[in-house]
Amino acid sequence: MKAIASKLDNCDCNVIHEDIVADVRAKMPDDETLMNLADLFKVFSDSTRVRILCALQYSELCVCDIAFLLGMTKSAISHQLRSLRQTRLVKYRKDGKSVYYSLDDEHVGNVFEQGLLHVCE
Amino acid sequence: MKAIASKLDNCDCNVIHEDIVADVRAKMPDDETLMNLADLFKVFSDSTRVRILCALQYSELCVCDIAFLLGMTKSAISHQLRSLRQTRLVKYRKDGKSVYYSLDDEHVGNVFEQGLLHVCE
DNA sequence: ATAATAGTTGCATAGGTGTTCAACTGTTCA
DNA sequence: TGAACAGTTGAACACCTATGCAACTATTAT
């Protein structure tokens, strides 16, 4: 049954367990969904962003607060807050000269918890 | 109170809400833990690795199976399986010429679920 | 108006990463 | 023994990204 292998032959081998592969393929979410999933985890894959999100779990904070807390420049923090804004993980409100950031997603804490279960043991 | 600001003055600003920052700092996990957390999410941040882990949720698979399933070369898959091995997310057994991979962490599915809650809505 | 501060943004750059290619090991089968 | 195949690995390359720097806006205070 080389027919199936030929329709997607970017791979450099033959299928060994044709039936199992077909079964798994049918059960898997589509590629777009898994790509979005990877993109979400990409946001959590940087320690600066993780520390920002973690801090915001305890309190709303302005950019200077976060910069001081993490020992980094306002610019670096602002750059990371930008991607957190774009992925809708944080929201902000302006008050005078300051901009206050807070979490904007109920799932953030859950994702953290599951991750910590793996890290701390 | 510039004293506190001076002990960690990589940042380019003054603390605005000193008490809140101190409180948040006390509650946060230490930096090493959060770094490990980011490293864990880094593994999930690539769509190839996500697809591999997702596939392995349904069945044990050999390298050729995965390569065919994802339409990629054995080499590319093998490289990614290496990092999944190193982070203890997959385990493997050899049988003849083939190497069969399977999930090696009970939390993988949970992390996926929480992520999907965010992605699918 | 002027100075000072909070915050953002574009650019440059150094470091990291995913894939390909080629060479290699090890197993199976004729 | 030798061919064929499964899988791994290291080097090279292209791409991505996190941070620093400098310039900018906006708000507040003197």
Give dist(CA B62, CA B116) in Å, integer: 26
For residue B48 the two structure tokens come to 């190839």
Domains present along chain B, CATH in parentheses: 30-120 (1.10.10.10)
Statement: residue A51 has pLDDT above 80: yes
A101-CA/D25-C1' distance, Å: 19
Per residue in B34-87, pLDDT (tens digit) is: 999 999 999 999 999 999 999 999 999 999 999 999 999 999 999 999 999 999
Chain A 59-98, CB below 8 Å of chain B: which residues?
59, 61-62, 64-65, 67-75, 98
| Residue B16 touches chain A, beta carbons under 8 Å | yes
Kindly tell me if the per-residue pLDDT of A13 is higher than 90. no
Write down the mean pLDDT value for chain A.
89
Closest residue (CA) to C1' of nucleotide D21 is: A75
Residues of A in contact with B3 (CB under 8 A): none
With a cut of 90, say whether residue B17 has pLDDT above it. Answer: no
Task: Return d(Cα A97, Cα A104) in angstroms, integer.
Answer: 22
Cα atoms in the 13 Å half-sphere on the side-chain side of A117: 12
Distance B79 CA to C21 C1' (A): 14
Q: What is the pLDDT of residues A57-103, one digit of tens each?
A: 999 999 999 999 999 999 999 999 999 999 999 999 999 999 999 99
Predicted confidence (pLDDT) at residue A1 exceeds the cutoff of 60: no
Three-state SS at B51: helix
Name the nucleotide with the smallest C1'–CA separation from A82: C8
CA distance A91 to chain B (A): 16
Closest nucleotide to the alpha carbon of A43, via C1': D17
User: Has residue A7 got a pLDDT over 50?
Assistant: no
Which amino acid would we find at residue A85? R
Percent of chain B with pLDDT over 70: 90
Q: Nearest to residue B55, comparing CAs of B84, B75, B88, B79? A: B84
Mean pLDDT (chain B, rounded): 88
Torsional sign, CA B52, B58, B64, B70 = negative
Q: What was the pLDDT predicted at B20? A: 95
Residue A112 CB contacts under 8 Å (≥ 6 apart), including other chains: A53, A54, A57, B37
Q: pLDDT band for position B8 (50/70/90)?
A: very low
